[in-house]
C-alpha cells in the first residue's frame, strides 16, 4: 500500500466509528448553544446571552458614537450627559428635592456638597436614570477613560515587578510594562464602536476544550494504543508496508483530522456569530479594564488574527500530546483518561490554580494555548538572557519545541514496540 492509501485507510478507520459521529453531533450542539445562550463575563455586554432585540438596540446606540476616542469625542459624551442631568424637566420636584436634601444632611453631608454640580445625579428622576437616552451613554463614558486606565494599569504593573524582583530583572520587566502601557496611554488612538460580534467570537475560544478538545480525545487517543490493545501492532509493523510508512500515515491522519475539525468549528463560529451579532467593530479596541487589561495595541481584527495563530499552535501542540500519550499507553482507555485529565483540568477553577505563578505555568499547557485569548489579557513576561520575552512568544516557542519532541517520541515509541514484540 502507498502512503496515500494508508492515510485514507486510517482516516476511514478513525472517523467511521459510531462513537465519533455521536461526539461530533454533541460538540456541534455545544458550540451552537454556547453562541446563543453562553454568558461570558469577559464581554462588554456583561455576559448577556444572544437577543435579537438587544443586538439591534446596541448596534443603534453604540454605532452612533463610533469614532476615535479623542478630546472632541470625549467632550461630546460629557455634553450629552450634562444636557440630560441639567435639564430641569428631568429633575425631581421641589418636595422630593427637599426630602432628599434632608436625608443627605442627616447623613452628615454639608449643603455645599449636596448642591455641588457633581451631585446633580441625586436629584434626577429614576425613570430618566434608567431610560435608554441616559443608559446608552454609560459604555462610551467608560470608554472615554481608556487612556487614563492605560496609564494607571501600566504604573501599577511596573510597581509590581519592581517590588517583586530586585535588580536588573525587575527594572527590565517594569520598563517593558511602562513602555507598552505608555504607548496605549500617550500615542495609541483607541477606536470606539459596537463590537458584540467580535467579543463573542473571542469568548467562544474558551469553549474549544469542550468541542475540539473532546473530539480529539475520542478520535485520536486510539491511534496507537488501539493497536496495542488488539495485539495488531507487531503484525502491522512487520507487514510489507509497515514501519515508517504506517507510522507516518497515522501521524498525518491525526493532524489532518485535527486541522480540519478546528477549521470547521472556527468557520461555523465566524459565520454564525457575524450573522447574528453583526460584523461591526473590527477597528474597536479590545480592552475591558475590569477583566482584560491587555497591554497590546490590538483592534478586534488584529486581536483575532493573533488569537487564531495562538490557537492553531495550541491545536498542533494538543494533537502531538495526544499522539504521544497514545503511543505510550497499552490500551485506548488509559490513553483517553490521561488525555482527558490533561486537557480538561486547566478549565476547572480550583483555589490551587489561583496563584499568579501557577496561572503563568498553566498558560503553557496545550488547552490554554488552544484557547489563545488568555495570553493577551494581561502583561506577563519573562526575563531571559538579558531580554524581556512576552508570554505569548514564550508559550508558542515552548509549544513548538514540545510538539516536535512529542511527535518524534510517538514515532519512535510505536516503532520500538515492534522490536520488543
Residue 361 host element (H or E):
helix 356-362
Q: What is the pLDDT of residues 116-138, one digit of tens each?
A: 888 888 899 999 999 999 999 99
For residue 165, the enclosing domain spans 146-186
Helices (H), 165-279: 167-186, 196-203, 208-220, 222-229, 233-238, 244-277
Looking at residue 240, its pLDDT comes to: 52
| 283 & 162 share domain | no
| CA 373/CA 381 separation, integer angstroms | 16
| 52 & 98 share domain | no
Helices (H), 88-137: 94-106, 111-114, 126-129, 132-135
* Domain's final residue, options 159, 186, 213: 186
Looking at residue 58, its pLDDT comes to: 94
| 346 & 250 share domain | yes
| 298 & 367 share domain | yes
| 345 & 280 share domain | yes
C-alpha cell at 249: 500515515
Average pLDDT, stretch 145-161? 96
Distance from the Cα of residue 102 to its chain's centroid: 49
Whether the predicted pLDDT of 419 surpasses 70: no
| 209 & 101 share domain | no
| 138 & 160 share domain | no
| 89 & 232 share domain | no
| 312 & 382 share domain | yes
Q: What is the pLDDT of residues 300-324, one digit of tens each?
A: 999 999 999 999 999 999 999 999 9
Taking alpha carbons only, the member of 212, 210, 203 closest to residue 277 is 203
Give how many domains the chain has, as a whole number.
3
Q: What is the pLDDT of residues 10-68, one digit of tens each?
A: 999 889 888 999 999 999 999 999 999 998 877 777 678 999 999 999 999 999 999 99
C-alpha cell at 219: 478520535
* Domain's final residue, options 134, 158, 186: 186
* Domain's final residue, options 164, 186, 208: 186
| CA 344/CA 333 separation, integer angstroms | 16
Q: How distant, in Å, are the alpha carbons of 86, 93, 94, 98, 102 from that of 111?
A: 19, 18, 16, 12, 10
| 257 & 383 share domain | yes
Looking at residue 230, its pLDDT comes to: 62
| 381 & 344 share domain | yes
Q: What is the pLDDT of residues 363-415, one digit of tens each?
A: 999 999 999 999 999 999 999 999 999 999 999 999 999 999 999 999 988 87
| CA 403/CA 248 separation, integer angstroms | 15
- Asked whether 47 and 41 are in contact (CB, 8 A), the reply is yes
Helices (H), 38-187: 52-63, 71-85, 94-106, 111-114, 126-129, 132-135, 138-143, 146-164, 167-186
Q: Which residue has the higher pLDDT, 230 or 259?
A: 259
Backbone angles phi, psi at 75, to 5 degrees: -65, -35
Whether the predicted pLDDT of 179 surpasses 80: yes
Buried b vs exposed e over 333-367: b needs ≥16 C-beta within 10 Å?
A: ebbbebbeebbeebeeeeeeeeeeeeebeebbbbb
Provide the 10 A C-beta neighbour count for residue 223.
Answer: 26
Backbone angles phi, psi at 255, to 5 degrees: -70, -35
Name residue 124's beta-bridge partners: 91
Residue 29 host element (H or E):
helix 18-37
Q: Residue 93 class from Cβ within 10 Å (0-12 exposed, 13-18 middle, 19+ buried)?
A: exposed
C-alpha cell at 148: 487614563
| 51 & 97 share domain | no
Taking alpha carbons only, the member of 164, 190, 159, 193 closest to residue 175 is 159
Looking at residue 117, its pLDDT comes to: 84
Share of the chain above pLDDT 90, in %: 70
Amino acid at each position: 500500500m502507498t502512503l496515500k492509501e494508508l492515510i485514507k485507510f486510517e482516516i476511514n478507520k478513525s472517523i467511521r466509528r459510531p462513537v465519533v459521529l455521536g461526539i461530533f453531533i454533541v460538540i456541534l450542539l455545544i458550540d451552537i448553544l454556547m453562541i446563543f445562550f453562553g454568558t461570558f463575563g469577559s464581554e462588554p455586554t456583561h455576559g448577556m446571552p444572544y437577543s435579537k432585540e438587544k443586538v439591534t438596540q446596541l448596534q443603534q446606540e453604540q454605532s452612533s458614537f463610533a469614532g476615535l476616542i479623542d478630546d472632541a469625542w470625549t467632550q461630546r459624551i460629557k455634553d450629552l450627559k450634562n444636557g440630560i442631568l441639567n435639564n430641569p424637566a428631568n429633575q425631581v420636584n421641589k418636595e422630593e428635592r427637599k426630602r432628599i436634601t434632608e436625608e443627605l444632611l442627616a447623613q452628615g453631608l454639608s449643603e455645599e456638597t449636596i448642591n455641588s454640580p457633581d451631585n446633580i445625579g441625586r436629584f434626577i428622576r429614576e425613570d430618566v436614570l434608567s431610560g435608554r437616552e441616559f443608559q446608552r451613554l454609560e459604555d462610551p463614558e467608560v470608554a472615554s477613560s481608556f487612556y487614563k486606565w492605560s496609564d494607571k494599569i501600566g504604573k501599577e504593573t511596573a510597581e509590581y515587578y519592581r517590588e517583586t524582583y530586585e535588580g536588573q530583572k525587575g527594572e527590565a520587566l517594569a520598563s517593558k510594562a511602562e513602555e507598552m502601557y505608555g504607548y496605549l496611554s500617550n500615542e495609541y488612538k483607541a477606536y470606539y464602536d459596537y463590537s458584540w460580534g467580535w467579543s463573542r467570537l473571542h469568548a467562544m475560544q474558551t469553549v474549544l476544550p469542550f468541542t475540539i478538545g473532546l473530539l480529539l480525545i475520542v478520535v485520536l487517543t486510539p491511534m496507537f494504543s488501539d493497536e496495542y490493545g488488539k495485539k495488531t501492532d507487531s503484525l502491522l509493523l512487520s507487514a510489507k508496508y509497515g514501519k515508517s510508512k504506517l507510522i507516518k500515515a497515522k501521524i498525518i491522519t491525526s493532524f489532518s483530522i485535527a486541522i480540519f475539525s478546528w477549521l470547521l468549528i472556527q468557520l461555523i463560529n465566524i459565520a454564525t456569530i457575524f450573522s447574528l451579532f453583526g460584523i461591526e467593530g473590527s477597528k474597536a479596541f479590545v480592552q475591558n479594564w475590569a477583566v482584560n487589561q491587555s497591554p497590546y495595541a490590538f483592534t478586534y481584527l488584529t486581536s483575532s488574527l493573533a488569537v487564531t495563530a495562538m490557537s492553531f499552535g495550541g491545536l498542533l501542540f494538543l494533537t502531538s500530546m495526544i499522539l504521544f500519550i497514545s503511543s505510550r499507553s497499552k490500551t485506548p482507555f488509559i490513553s483517553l483518561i490521561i488525555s482527558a485529565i490533561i486537557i480538561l483540568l486547566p478549565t476547572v477553577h480550583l483555589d490551587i490554580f489561583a496563584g499568579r505563578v501557577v496561572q503563568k505555568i498553566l498558560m503553557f499547557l496545550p488547552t490554554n494555548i488552544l484557547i489563545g485569548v488568555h495570553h493577551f489579557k494581561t502583561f506577563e513576561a519573562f526575563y531571559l538572557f538579558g531580554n524581556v520575552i512576552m508570554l505569548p512568544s514564550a508559550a508558542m516557542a515552548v509549544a513548538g519545541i514540545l510538539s516536535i519532541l512529542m511527535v518524534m517520541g510517538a514515532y519512535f515509541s510505536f516503532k520500538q514496540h515492534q522490536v520488543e514484540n
